[in-house]
Amino acid sequence: MEHSKAIQRGILERTTSRSGQMFVGMVLLIGSVIAIVSLLLLFLSGALVSTGYGIKNTTAAQAAATAGAEDAMLKLERGAIASFPASYTISVNGTTATVLVGNDAPAAGFVTVTSTATVANHESIVRVVMVENTSSPMSVVSWKVLQ
């Protein structure tokens, strides 16, 4: 009898030991999954925030470049730009646009305006080609946002 009781106690101890080992393994597995999911969510939230700032900076750069091109067109209509090539800067909501105005490009009788603005490594370039008219308003031949 004593022998069978000792065997039963040994089986019971091994069974209890195995369930404890399984519990520790499950805790480690569940903890690892939670840690991986947490790191993934942290990475995704950071990426979404930086994407939002990128869109904001790109939009600000494009707005400043567009404003620079429109300012040059207005100056050309009013005769404020007397000689070519002309270059100047304009500030739009804290962003500086560099405007270059040249004539006879792409051919004689055309005026090309190139406006460039950069906000936090996001550059936008707007190029406008117009037909040069002395008697009537200049007409736009092309308007391109290059970046």
This prediction's pTM? 0.64
- What total number of domains does the chain contain? 1
Q: Supply the Cα-derived Rg of the chain in whole angstroms.
A: 35
pLDDT digits (tens, 9 = 90+) for 2-55: 666 655 565 555 555 566 778 888 888 899 999 998 888 888 777 766 666 778
Cα separation, 66 vs 80, whole angstroms: 19
Residue burial 11-25, b: 16+ Cβ < 10 Å; e: rest: eeeeeeeeeeeeeee
Strands 139-145, 122-131: pairing is antiparallel
pLDDT digits (tens, 9 = 90+) for 92-141: 888 899 999 988 777 788 899 999 999 988 899 999 999 887 667 788 88
**Would you say 99 and 71 are in contact if contact means Cβ atoms under 8 Å apart?**
yes
Question: Could you list the residue range(s) of the whole structural domain that residue 100 is in?
Answer: 1-147
Cα separation, 63 vs 23, whole angstroms: 60
